[in-house]
């Protein structure tokens, strides 16, 4: 398991390594539970030739004996970056667990030190080790890190028949995962706890989520899940337009059919950031985040009760990359990172909202505004005349009871404007 915490300092707080020397001086070594015995001759030579070795206390113990000066990572973790950069030009070694570039410290250091100044010796990651132990094809598994991350991050991966390998935060993670599986109608799923893989303390135990009673779990563990879904299991579908009933709401909700068309208009791409202005129940931002694991959304909501409701909805559906900011637009937009897309589902007629959003939007970004009132529809006509784009009216009817019979009940039509910033 890779023990690096993702809660690192922003890059701006740590200066990037400057000009010269341009030759390797920083060695990043992945070390397993078998310690020095599992290291290659080249990794051992770099380790023994370093003047400073930095790592967690467990890493330093595994690498012993060491002739160099040793330093355990400080707390907060990010304070150690400056200590590494101070050694620039001197042989310095950083120890990590497994593969330092898979949910590890390698990628963080590579943002600060040019790649040509780094040599890395990775070991098999916990994902690789778990797949090897279970005979699973790693490309066919969903690999998720729950180390320093919300447990609900695993929810979108809970698909019938899926195989999931999760890096644990600590010894409590497997039991918490079992409870989550049971709550979602997945209690028949097989849960395998793999502890201290690759070392003398390695232990592998399996059970069902419903019958989970594994105790005395080592903090260093990974969890493998084979998902078995009951007929009533709560599975997050891959298509947009989740059922309205899946969102706790007070009526401030973009309905499923309109939401699906709105997501299509926003056209999410991998790794993009959405601003959801007037987030309400958070449904559009949640579905944006569910389109790709790297997608992010900042939702702006001025009512605290709705903000809390949106956060609960996001957690329930595994959209952990949705951040809800309490505030009123356009003031609450100040200082936010530039978005790749913006959705305005309410309050578009408020002065300054469109201009602030359009100015902040990246070139090529999409801005989508939905309107149900005549006043806001008039504004959309003005935007269309000024910026072009697509304007359409969306009307949906749902079958409903009319006494002892059935008929179509029309929802309020929605006028939608979609603009792309040049």
Check residue 17 and give its pLDDT.
58
Confidence band for 16, pLDDT divided at 50, 70 and 90: low
Q: What average pLDDT does range 170-180 have in this prediction? A: 98
Nearest-angstrom CA–CA distance, 141 and 145: 13
Please give the share of the chain, as a percent, with pLDDT higher than 90: 90
Confidence band for 285, pLDDT divided at 50, 70 and 90: very high
Contact yes or no for 359/334 (Cβ under 8 A): no
Check residue 256 and give its pLDDT.
97
Q: What average pLDDT does range 213-235 have in this prediction? A: 97
Contact yes or no for 250/214 (Cβ under 8 A): no
Q: What average pLDDT does range 111-128 have in this prediction? A: 96
What architecture is domain 11-123? 3-Layer(aba) Sandwich (3.40)
Query: Residue 142 forms beta bridges with which residues?
Result: 164
Burial 405-420 (b: 16+ CB within 10 A, else e): eeeeeeeeebbbbbbb
Nearest-angstrom CA–CA distance, 126 and 138: 11
Nearest-angstrom CA–CA distance, 22 and 313: 49
Check residue 20 and give its pLDDT.
58
pTM: 0.91
Residue 176, both tokens: 């918490």
8-state DSSP, 281: T
Confidence band for 76, pLDDT divided at 50, 70 and 90: confident
Confidence band for 75, pLDDT divided at 50, 70 and 90: confident
SS3 state of residue 220: coil
What's the mean pLDDT when you consider all of the chain?
Answer: 93
Check residue 3 and give its pLDDT.
42
Three-state secondary structure readout of 249-268: CCCCCCCHHHHHHHHHHHCC
Residue located via tokens 């992945």: 30
Check residue 198 and give its pLDDT.
95
Measured at the CA of 149, the angle between CA 105 and CA 39, to 5 degrees, comes to 30
Check residue 18 and give its pLDDT.
57
414-420/366-371 β-pairing: antiparallel
- What separation, in Å, do the N-terminal and C-terminal C-alpha atoms of the chain show? 45
pLDDT at 14 over 60: no
Q: At the topology level of CATH, where does 127-226 sit?
A: 3.30.950
Q: What is the pLDDT of residues 136-151, one digit of tens each?
A: 999 999 999 999 999 9
| CA-based nearest residue to 57, from 35, 36, 72, 77 | 72
Name the helix (H) or strand (E) containing 207.
strand 203-208
Nearest-angstrom CA–CA distance, 31 and 43: 10
Q: What average pLDDT does range 79-90 have in this prediction? A: 92
Q: What average pLDDT does range 65-75 have in this prediction? A: 93
Q: What is the pLDDT of residues 379-393, one digit of tens each?
A: 999 999 999 999 999
* Greater model confidence, 76 or 182: 182
Instruction: Look up the CATH number of domain 244-420.
Output: 3.40.50.150
Residue 323, both tokens: 């951040």
Residue 71, both tokens: 């330093």
**Would you kindly state where each structural domain of the chain is located, as residue ranges?**
11-123, 127-226, 244-420
Check residue 146 and give its pLDDT.
97
């Amino acid at each position: 398991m890779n023990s690096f915490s993702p809660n690192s300092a922003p890059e701006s707080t740590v200066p990037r390594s400057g000009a010269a020397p341009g030759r390797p001086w920083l060695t990043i070594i992945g070390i397993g539970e078998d310690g020095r015995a599992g290291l290659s001759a080249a990794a051992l030579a770099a380790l023994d030739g370093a003047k400073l070795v930095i790592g967690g206390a467990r890493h330093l113990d595994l690498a012993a004996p060491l002739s160099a000066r040793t330093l355990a990572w400080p707390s907060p973790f990010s304070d150690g970056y400056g200590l590494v950069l101070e050694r620039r030009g001197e042989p310095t070694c950083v120890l990590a667990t497994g593969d330092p570039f898979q949910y590890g410290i390698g990628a963080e250091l590579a943002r600060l030190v040019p790649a040509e100044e780094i040599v890395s010796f990775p070991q098999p990651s916990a994902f690789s080790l778990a797949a090897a132990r279970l005979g699973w094809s790693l490309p066919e598994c969903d690999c998720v890190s729950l180390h320093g991350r919300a447990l609900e991050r695993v929810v979108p991966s809970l698909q019938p028949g899926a195989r999931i390998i999760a890096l644990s935060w600590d010894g409590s993670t497997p039991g918490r995962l079992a409870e989550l599986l049971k709550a979602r109608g997945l209690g028949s799923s097989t849960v395998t706890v793999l502890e201290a893989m690759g070392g003398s303390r390695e232990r592998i135990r399996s059970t069902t989520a419903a019958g989970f009673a594994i105790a005395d779990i080592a903090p260093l563990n990974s969890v493998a899940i084979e998902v078995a879904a009951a007929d009533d299991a709560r599975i997050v579908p891959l298509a947009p337009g989740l059922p309205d009933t899946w969102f706790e709401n007070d009526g401030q909700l973009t309905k499923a059919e309109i939401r699906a068309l709105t997501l299509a208009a926003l056209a999410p791409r991998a790794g993009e950031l959405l601003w959801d202005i007037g987030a309400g129940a958070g449904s559009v931002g949640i579905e944006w985040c569910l389109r790709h694991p790297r997608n992010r959304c900042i939702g702006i909501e001025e009512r605290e009760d709705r903000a809390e409701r949106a956060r609960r909805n996001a957690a329930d559906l595994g959209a952990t990359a949705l951040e809800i900011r309490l505030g009123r637009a356009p003031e609450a937009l100040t200082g936010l990172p530039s978005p790749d897309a913006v959705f305005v589902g309410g309050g578009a007629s408020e002065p300054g909202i469109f201009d602030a959003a359009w100015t902040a939007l990246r070139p090529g970004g999409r801005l989508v505004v939905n309107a149900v009132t005549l006043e806001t529809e008039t504004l959309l006509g003005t935007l269309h005349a000024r910026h072009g784009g697509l304007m359409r009216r969306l009307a949906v009817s749902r079958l409903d009871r009319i006494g002892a019979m059935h008929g179509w009940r029309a929802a309020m039509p929605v006028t939608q404007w979609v603009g792309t910033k040049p």
